[in-house]
Amino acid sequence: MSEEDVYQEAIETWGEDVQVQIAIEEVNELGAELSRHLRGRGNSAAICEEIADVEIMLEQLRHVFGDSPVDTAKDAKLGRLRDRMEADDE
Ligand SMILES: [Mg+2]
């Protein structure tokens, strides 16, 4: 089973609302780990675990809300960031 198939099957098995709820929880778990890091109690293995969790849930959110609109928004935002970086270099 491909990675894409796993994401789609997870959504079909548990439903969009459950997967959206889990995405919220995983984002919050990453936020908590990053906060511990900034307070000097960081655990980089735990941060990496949470990054992986969030990436997996972000992929599922793409299945729920649409890959193409996400790509379009990402391209625009990356373009603006690139412009800012290039302006800072001048
Ligand atoms: Mg997690």
Ranges of each domain in the chain: 3-89
Q: Contacts for 28-37 with beta carbons within 8 Å, 24 or more apart?
A: 29/53, 30/54
Mean pLDDT, residues 79-83: 97
Whole-structure pTM over 0.85, yes or no? yes
Residue whose C-alpha is closest to residue 26's, from 14, 18, 15, 38: 18
| Percent of the chain topping pLDDT 70 | 100
| Percent of the chain topping pLDDT 90 | 96
Question: How much distance in Å is there from the Cα of 30 to the middle of ligand 1?
Answer: 7
Question: How much distance in Å is there from the Cα of 41 to the middle of ligand 1?
Answer: 17
